[in-house]
Amino acid sequence: MLQSVKTVMVAALWAGLSLSAYAAERPSAALGEKLFNDPKLGGATGTKSCGSCHQDGAGIEFSYKKPNLPQIINMCITRGLGGAPLAEDSVEMKSLILYHQSLR
């Protein structure tokens, strides 16, 4: 139990640090692609990235149509990568959505 609390705290800290690193940037599909392939997205501590399961965006070509895309992205970050969810109005989330849209 204590180990899982420590893991969550470290993930939240990394998420906070990574979010501040992009705060001055403008949302872009290029940044979204970079984040999509970053195993540290959301402060994750593993080796998997979004691109590990969706190589070159495979399987998410039509995700831009989903009104709940931010929630889906956060579910993948928290469950798949073990990271902390992104704020829906963050540069990171907006960039990931732009990247999804670029895969049409």
Kindly tell me the burial class for residue 67, based on how many C-beta atoms sit within 10 Å of its own C-beta (0-12, 13-18, 19 or more): exposed
Residue 42: its pLDDT value, please? Answer: 94
Residue 61: its pLDDT value, please? Answer: 86
What are the residue boundaries of the structural domains of the chain, listed by start?
Answer: 2-102
Q: Write out the CATH class of domain 2-102.
A: mainly alpha
pLDDT in tens, 44-66: 999 999 999 999 888 998 998 99
The Cα 48–Cα 29 span in angstroms is: 20
Residue 1: its pLDDT value, please? Answer: 60
pLDDT in tens, 84-100: 999 999 999 999 999 99
Residue 31: its pLDDT value, please? Answer: 97
Kindly tell me the burial class for residue 79, based on how many C-beta atoms sit within 10 Å of its own C-beta (0-12, 13-18, 19 or more): exposed
Query: What's the CA dihedral at 76, 39, 23, 60 to 10 degrees?
Result: -40
Residue 16: its pLDDT value, please? Answer: 52
